[in-house]
């Protein structure tokens, strides 16, 4: 079996572009993969084209060796563009291998630990009465892990951290009072705060209000997270931006976080994710994967979730209160099966996803530029 063709698709689906990769072999078996890095898809496509130059003619079932060749074939190590490209190809190789053997991908990863994968949902409304109403709807439908967004999250021009911190803390306390103690509550601050701002946010709420704080600050400096760790006892959920096992290293070894928001479409695919999962297990860190893309990413992450012991929840963006267009049945006639607050683990060979290429080719790429946020004084801040 040899790789004969690699093709990238960048359709606009819902509010963003997806980057899907199809790898075709001489045996007629093909596999699908997906890359992350929303808003910079063209850079990833070009990286995949570079890799394709030496992948043609190779056996896609040599997954580990091909991962190493892609990662080490350039002088410059890794980086998110390259590992997103590697991730899409790695997922497609797993899909091919599973199909060629007639087994689901989770069997290639050691077999499944669980029959279904628990998911968490996001209440997308800004802090306020609607946010609590959305959370109550989710609880009534069986969701027991809910994530909130901070005040100002949906702004496309201004984000002032201190204003957001004050309002958000007040409504998170009210949400806990309304929802009770049995529901797991978290919030994603999208790395928009400083250490002092994040600490202030945490200290404005009674102990036990939040079960996890996601991405409060940027990840470039582990020591900054170490400083924040000393200022709060709230568990951290971070890692969606991490592009390799090496980037996870100081966080896992330093016990800086409690939930790994690993993104298999950014970190280098299933090959790298399985290594991070094992390392996390040794430090009692559970996986809580980042999953904002499409059905191929979701399916691949479900297989990973099924095959590791240390797993908490999978991000779901198709809950009763949040429909982002990722469950398009015309584009993906077979895709992950969400039953209430759980995904069923697919048993079809490979990933268990089917893609309608004819429909896919009709969807053009549209440039999507993330918001360029400013503070009230005019300076730029994080999106």
Domain residue limits at 200: 107-349
Please report whether residue 367 resides in a domain: no
202-226 pLDDT tens trace: 999 999 999 999 999 999 999 999 9
Same domain, yes or no: 40 and 159: no
Rounded to an integer, what distance in angstroms lies between the CA atom of residue 19 and that of residue 35? 6
Rounded to an integer, what distance in angstroms lies between the CA atom of residue 84 and that of residue 239? 14
Please report whether residue 285 resides in a domain: yes
Whole-structure pTM over 0.95, yes or no? yes
Rounded (to 5) percent helix, strand, coil in the chain:
40, 15, 45
Please report whether residue 381 resides in a domain: no
Number of domain units in the chain: 2
**Backbone torsions φ then ψ of 296, nearest 5 degrees:** -70, -45
Among the candidates 47, 71, 104, a domain finishes at 104
315-326 pLDDT tens trace: 999 999 997 655
Among the candidates 82, 104, 126, a domain finishes at 104
Q: In this predicted structure, what is the pLDDT of residue 149?
A: 98
Please report whether residue 368 resides in a domain: no
Cα-only R_g, the chain: 20
Same domain, yes or no: 238 and 314: yes
Q: In this predicted structure, what is the pLDDT of residue 327?
A: 57
Q: In this predicted structure, what is the pLDDT of residue 76?
A: 84
* Domain at 322, CATH number: 3.20.20.120
Q: In this predicted structure, what is the pLDDT of residue 78?
A: 83
Same domain, yes or no: 239 and 193: yes
For 335, left (φ over 0), alpha (ψ -120 to 50), or beta? beta
79-117 pLDDT tens trace: 899 999 999 999 999 999 999 999 999 999 999 999 999
Same domain, yes or no: 63 and 174: no
Please report whether residue 363 resides in a domain: no
237-253 pLDDT tens trace: 999 999 999 999 999 99
Rounded to an integer, what distance in angstroms lies between the CA atom of residue 367 and that of residue 121? 28
Rounded to an integer, what distance in angstroms lies between the CA atom of residue 173 and that of residue 355? 43
């Amino acid at each position: 079996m040899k790789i004969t063709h690699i093709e990238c698709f960048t359709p606009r689906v819902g509010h963003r572009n997806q980057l899907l990769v199809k790898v075709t072999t001489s045996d007629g078996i093909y596999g699908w993969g997906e890359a992350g890095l929303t808003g910079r898809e063209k850079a990833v496509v070009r990286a995949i084209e570079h890799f394709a130059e030496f992948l043609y003619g190779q056996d896609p079932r040599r997954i580990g060796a091909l991962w190493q060749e892609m990662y080490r074939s350039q002088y410059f190590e890794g980086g998110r563009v390259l590992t997103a490209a590697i991730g899409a190809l790695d997922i497609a190789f797993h899909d091919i291998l599973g199909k060629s053997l007639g087994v689901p991908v989770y069997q290639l990863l050691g077999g499944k630990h669980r029959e279904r994968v628990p998911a968490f949902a996001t209440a997308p409304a800004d802090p306020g009465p609607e946010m609590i109403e959305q959370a109550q709807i989710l609880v009534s439908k069986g969701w027991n892990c809910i994530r909130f967004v901070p005040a100002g999250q949906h702004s496309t021009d201004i984000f002032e951290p201190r204003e957001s911190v004050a309002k958000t803390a007040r409504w998170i306390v009210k949400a806990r009072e309304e929802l009770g103690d049995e529901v797991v509550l978290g919030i994603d601050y999208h790395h928009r705060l400083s250490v002092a701002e994040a600490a202030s946010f945490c200290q404005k709420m009674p102990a036990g209000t939040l079960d996890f704080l996601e991405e409060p600050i940027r990840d470039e400096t582990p020591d900054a997270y170490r400083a924040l760790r000393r200022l709060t006892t709230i568990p951290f959920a971070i890692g969606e931006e991490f592009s390799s096992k090496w980037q996870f290293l100081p966080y896992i070894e330093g016990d800086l976080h409690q939930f790994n928001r690993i993104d298999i479409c950014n970190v280098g695919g299933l090959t790298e994710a399985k290594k991070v999962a094992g390392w996390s297990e040794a430090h009692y860190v559970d996986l809580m994967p980042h999953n904002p893309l499409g059905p191929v990413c979701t399916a691949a992450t479900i297989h990973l979730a099924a095959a590791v012991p240390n797993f908490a929840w999978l991000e779901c963006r198709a809950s009763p209160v949040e429909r982002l267009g990722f469950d398009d049945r015309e584009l993906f006639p077979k895709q992950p099966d969400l039953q209430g607050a759980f995904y069923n683990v697919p048993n079809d060979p490979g990933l268990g996803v089917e893609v309608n290429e004819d429909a896919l080719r009709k969807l053009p790429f549209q440039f999507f530029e993330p918001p360029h946020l400013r503070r009230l004084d005019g300076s730029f801040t994080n999106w």
